[in-house]
């Protein structure tokens, strides 16, 4: 008789004492997903009130469950149609997302593999692949091979984690918190998430005046740093959300480093432009930044949610974000642990869809897809410039086109935007620029047809 622990009497394969046999449910969901990935016919905007949704969906969470078929049917008939299609080629509002089908399909694979990708010991293979995708980005940044980072949920958390690292680094180098607290420098054009990060970090924002076109410049930064010794970081935008403007990165980095100030570049939207030769020169100077983010769910054709967060010196991030506790004592801290590089612990391998899509299509096709959006934006901008009823407010630097319709009041823009959305023609929402209401088109989808957009702009007469 062996004295080893005996396994329990083997169970019949179909016996799952709690959940029952879920294989039909898996097939149902996988089948729906496979059909959705290739479908191309979503309405443009379809939000409905919770009351309307409740009336159509009926009760779904019940003591005994309604069953997979009924639940999926509610999702298919009622819930999913009440979400906005982000990949519709005429969704040009905010910044949409146009993932490749390869990336979306691999999001399913990533979920199915159920990988804990916080620690190398649990997610080595997935983290290796994510790092390959990140290395493609650091290569474009011109950063050393020792640089690196991890994927986080979005630009907001990427910016916060980067600035937390910058603040902790300043604290260590300058010997503690200044009496009046830390300050963060940026322009009014910096993304709203920078102010959220400042709030979370309890640091004050010093606003740097912009040049006439809305850029952060080295000259203006110097004037601020000369009178503000407690600035720990400056945030430069590589593609502002409102207008797609890229700050003067080379001058900003040179001045900041002269003052020992960390340079964080927010490229959540525009960072994809690094891969496009026609605009690459705008990013000159980015090779000296200390941290950088880009959202692959914006213009790098990955599904939600995905932000690449990168550090020139990952050790500084590790010193900031490593969590320590008795139950974490056994972590191998010599390995590449994404958990130690941002404000998170558990994480899915959300960089895998990007990795798979890059591996499938190749980086040349990424370059071409980004250039395609840039071309589309230039064609539309040229048509606006040539038109007699619209005015191009500023020359686009990347793929955001801002224009107005002389003679219109804010209410006119609202009406047109709303009607165009309801008809399902196009999503284009007004924004404000220098206090005036303008219209804004953000091109991130290589399938957007410039001619169709120009045709729709005729309705602004």
Structure tokens at 183: 């300050």
Q: Rounded to the nearest whole angstrom, what is the least distance from the CB of residue 205 to ligand PLP in the complex?
A: 15
Distance CA 207, CA 202 (A): 16
Q: How far apart are CA 223 and CA 295, in angstroms?
A: 31
Residue 197 CB, nearest distance to ligand PLP (Å)?
A: 10
The residue behind tokens 């496979």 is 34
Indicate the SS3 state at residue 270. Answer: helix
- Give the residue with the Cβ less far from ligand PLP, 307 or 331: 307
DSSP class per residue in 295-361 = -HHHHS---SS-EEEEESSHHHHHHHH----GGGTT--TTS--GGGGTT-SS---TTHHHHHHHHHH
Single residue of 183, 241, 420, 445 touching ligand PLP by CB under 6 A: 241
Min dist CB 458 to ligand PLP, Å, is 29
Query: What x/- string results for residues 185 through 204 when contact with ligand PLP is judged by CB under 6 A?
Result: ------x-x-----------
Minimum Å distance from CB 107 to ligand PLP?
A: 16
Distance in Å, CB of 304 to ligand PLP, minimum: 8
The verdict on 154 binding ligand PLP (CB under 6 A) reads: yes
Size of the site for ligand PLP (CB under 6 A): 13
440 is a site residue for ligand PLP (CB under 6 A) = no
Between 245 and 284, how does the x/- string for binding to ligand PLP read (CB under 6 A)?
---------------------x-xx---------------
Q: By C-beta, is 203 or 460 nearer to ligand PLP?
A: 203
| Nearest to ligand PLP of 311, 336 (CB atom) | 311
Residue 392 near residue 403 (C-beta atoms within 8 A): yes
13, 50 Cβ separation under 8 angstroms: no
Could you give the CA distance from residue 79 to residue 307 in angstroms, rounded to a whole number? 26
* Piece in contact with ligand PLP (CB under 6 A), picked from 21-29, 36-44, 154-162, 339-347: 154-162
By the 8 A CB rule, do 121 and 331 touch? Answer: yes
Which residue, among 191, 167, 188, has the nearest Cα to 295 in the 3D structure? 191
Task: Give CA–CA dist 146/188, Å, rounded.
Answer: 33
User: In the range 281-300, which residues lie near ligand PLP by CB under 6 A?
Assistant: 295
What would the two tokens of residue 339 be?
A: 């958990």
Among 129, 140, 282, 307, binds ligand PLP (CB under 6 A): 307
Q: Given the rule CB under 6 A, which residues bind ligand PLP?
A: 95, 154-156, 191, 193, 237, 241, 266, 268-269, 295, 307
């Amino acid at each position: 008789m062996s004295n080893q622990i005996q396994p329990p009497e083997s169970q019949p394969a179909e016996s799952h004492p709690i959940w029952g046999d879920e294989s039909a449910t898996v097939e149902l969901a996988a089948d729906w997903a496979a059909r959705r990935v290739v479908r191309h016919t979503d309405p443009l905007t379809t939000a409905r009130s919770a009351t309307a949704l409740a009336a159509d969906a009926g009760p779904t969470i019940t003591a005994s469950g309604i069953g997979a078929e009924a639940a999926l049917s509610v999702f298919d008939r009622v819930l999913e149609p009440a979400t906005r299609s982000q990949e519709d080629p005429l969704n040009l509002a905010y910044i949409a997302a146009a993932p490749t089908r390869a990336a979306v399909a691999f999001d399913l694979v990533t979920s199915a593999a159920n990988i804990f990708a916080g620690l190398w010991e649990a997610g080595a293979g997935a983290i290796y692949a994510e790092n390959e995708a990140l290395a493609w980005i650091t290569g474009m940044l011109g950063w050393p091979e020792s640089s690196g980072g991890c994927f986080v949920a979005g630009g907001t958390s990427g910016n916060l984690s980067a600035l937390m690292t910058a603040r902790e680094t300043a604290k260590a180098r300058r010997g503690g918190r200044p009496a009046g607290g830390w300050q963060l420098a940026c322009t009014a054009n910096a993304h709203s998430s920078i102010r959220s990060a400042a709030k979370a970090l309890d640091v004050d924002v010093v606003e740097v005046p912009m040049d006439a076109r809305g850029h952060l410049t080295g000259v203006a930064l110097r004037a601020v740093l000369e009178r503000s010794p407690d600035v720990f970081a400056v945030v430069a935008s590589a593609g502002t959300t409102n207008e797609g403007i890229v700050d003067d990165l080379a001058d900003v980095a040179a001045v900041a480093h002269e003052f020992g100030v960390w340079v964080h570049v927010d490229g959540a939207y525009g960072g994809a432009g690094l891969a496009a030769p026609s605009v690459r020169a705008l990013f000159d100077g980015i090779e000296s930044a200390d941290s950088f983010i880009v959202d692959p769910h914006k213009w790098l054709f990955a599904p939600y949610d995905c932000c690449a967060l990168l550090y020139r010196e990952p050790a500084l991030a590790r010193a900031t974000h490593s969590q320590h506790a008795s139950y974490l004592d056994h972590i191998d801290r010599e390995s590449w642990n994404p958990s130690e590089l941002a404000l998170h612990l558990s994480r899915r391998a959300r960089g895998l869809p990007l990795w798979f899509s890059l591996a499938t299509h190749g980086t040349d096709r990424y370059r071409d897809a980004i250039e395609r959006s840039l071309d589309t934006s230039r064609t539309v901008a040229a048509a606006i410039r040539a038109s007699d009823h619209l005015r191009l407010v500023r020359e686009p630097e990347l793929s955001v086109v801002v224009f107005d319709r002389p003679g219109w009041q804010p209410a006119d823009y609202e009406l047109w935007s709303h009607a165009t959305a309801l008809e399902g023609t196009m999503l284009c929402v007004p924004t404000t620029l220098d206090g005036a209401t303008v219209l804004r088109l953000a091109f991130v989808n290589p399938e957007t047809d410039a001619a169709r957009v120009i045709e729709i702009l005729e309705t602004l007469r």
